């Protein structure tokens, strides 16, 4: 019986025909030189070009590569979820096939997990932004990251890097939460941080991607914000709901005191509505927190 590899690398491939083999070669060379046993799971996400054909043609050159082909496009999140669920390695690595991430450094990420058992995930924290719509992405990602830091209660150098490695057993309960799109990376980061799993951020270079970007600024930025709120609500709803509840209750009380002095113990409808709104949101926060704690995850 063939021994299981130590590392499984999940590589989503969608319309990357011009450079996918270069990326596969770069990954396999780095892993061969590292001495780690590995499998490279190249998943074709129903490409409309020759990506799958190029992978099959090159397969004999890369004995550690396993090709999986989707019959309909599921999105990078779906690829990473299914790839992680089917991974046989103890360590799972996510990366992209667009030449933007320094995949020759994958062994460095794996080494951190191998040497430090207290770390459950290593994220390649990008030191620059080279994506499309750069003048819009930089402030938007900074804003979203600050929201995530506020809600998660700790500093996050890179919330949604596509290059990361994590322990398969730790990630298993959270894989079902992954959305189909790009925000799957945000989800896995917040899932670990919200459950007190140590995440190590390793600085990496980031290059301009090859080929055409699949990132839509408005739609994907909107999904990122929703996913940040959704994940924190899932693990710690008090962080989202209790602050506005307390503010509304406080404003309602102050407005009530002002009304008493101005109108002789008469409360205006505004004060009552604001106070009751705060009480309702606070009750919802406590109920949500009770549900979270009763899940036993």
Query: SS3 for 63-130, per residue?
Result: CCEEEEECCCCCCHHHHHHHHHHHCCCCEEEECCCCCCCCHHHHHHHHHHHHHCCCEEEEEEEECCCC
pLDDT value of residue 274: 94
Question: Which of 234, 257, 276 represents a domain boundary (last residue)?
Answer: 234
pLDDT value of residue 219: 61
The answer to whether 133 and 217 have CB atoms below 8 angstroms apart is yes
| 222 shares a domain with 164 | yes
* Residue 1 within a domain: no
Question: Which of 184, 200, 234 represents a domain boundary (last residue)?
Answer: 234
- Condensed to tens digits (0 to 9), the pLDDT of residues 242-280 reads 999 999 999 999 999 998 888 877 888 898 999 999 999
| 259 shares a domain with 122 | no
pLDDT value of residue 122: 98
| 273 shares a domain with 198 | no
Is residue 130 very low, low, confident or very high in pLDDT (cuts 50, 70, 90)? low
- Condensed to tens digits (0 to 9), the pLDDT of residues 24-50 reads 999 999 999 999 999 999 999 999 999
pLDDT value of residue 141: 72
* Residue 214 within a domain: yes
- Condensed to tens digits (0 to 9), the pLDDT of residues 158-181 reads 988 999 999 999 999 999 888 887
Instruction: Name the residue range of residue 160's domain.
Output: 7-234
| 212 shares a domain with 79 | yes
Alpha-carbon gap, residue 65 to 8, rounded angstroms: 10
- CATH number, domain of 161, equals 3.90.550.10
The answer to whether 155 and 149 have CB atoms below 8 angstroms apart is yes
Whole-angstrom CA distances from 123 to 108, 163, 166, 207 are 11, 6, 9, 16
- Condensed to tens digits (0 to 9), the pLDDT of residues 171-210 reads 999 998 888 876 788 889 988 988 889 999 999 999 887 7
Alpha-carbon gap, residue 295 to 297, rounded angstroms: 6
Question: Which of 234, 268, 286 represents a domain boundary (last residue)?
Answer: 234
Q: In the chain, pLDDT over 90 holds for what percent of residues? A: 59
Question: Beta-strand (E) ranges in 72-162?
Answer: 91-94, 119-126
**Residue of 167, 185, 202 lying closest to 7 (CA atoms):** 167
Please give the tally of structural domains in the chain.
2
User: Residue 133 pLDDT more than 70?
Assistant: no
| 250 shares a domain with 225 | no
* Residue 218 within a domain: yes
């Amino acid at each position: 019986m063939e021994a299981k590899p130590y590392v499984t690398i999940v590589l989503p491939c969608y319309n990357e025909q011009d450079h996918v083999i270069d990326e596969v070669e770069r990954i396999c060379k780095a892993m061969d030189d590292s001495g780690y046993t590995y499998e490279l799971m190249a998943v074709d996400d129903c490409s409309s070009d020759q990506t799958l054909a190029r992978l099959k043609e090159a397969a004999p050159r890369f004995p550690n590569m396993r090709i999986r082909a989707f019959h309909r496009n599921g999105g990078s999140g779906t690829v990473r979820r299914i790839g992680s669920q089917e991974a046989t390695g103890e360590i799972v690595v996510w990366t992209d096939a667009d030449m933007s991430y320094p995949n020759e450094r994958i062994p460095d990420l794996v080494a951190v997990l191998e040497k430090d058992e207290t770390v459950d995930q290593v994220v390649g924290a990008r030191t620059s932004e080279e994506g499309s719509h750069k003048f819009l992405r930089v402030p938007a990602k900074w804003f979203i990251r600050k929201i995530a830091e506020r809600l998660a209660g700790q500093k996050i150098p890179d919330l949604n890097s596509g290059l990361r490695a994590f322990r398969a057993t730790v990630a298993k309960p959270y894989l079902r939460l992954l959305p189909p799109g790009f925000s799957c990376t945000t989800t896995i980061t917040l899932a670990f941080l919200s459950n007190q799993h140590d995440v190590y951020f390793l600085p990496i270079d980031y290059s301009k991607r090859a080929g055409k970007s699949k990132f839509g600024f408005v739609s994907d930025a909107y999904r990122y914000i929703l996913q940040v709120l959704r994940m924190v609500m899932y693990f710690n709803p008090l962080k989202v709901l209790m602050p506005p509840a307390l503010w509304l209750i406080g404003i309602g009380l102050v407005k009530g005191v002002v009304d008493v002095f101005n109108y002789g113990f008469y409360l205006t409808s505004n004060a009552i509505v604001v106070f009751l709104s705060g009480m309702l949101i606070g009750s919802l926060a406590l109920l949500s927190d009770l549900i979270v704690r009763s899940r036993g995850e």
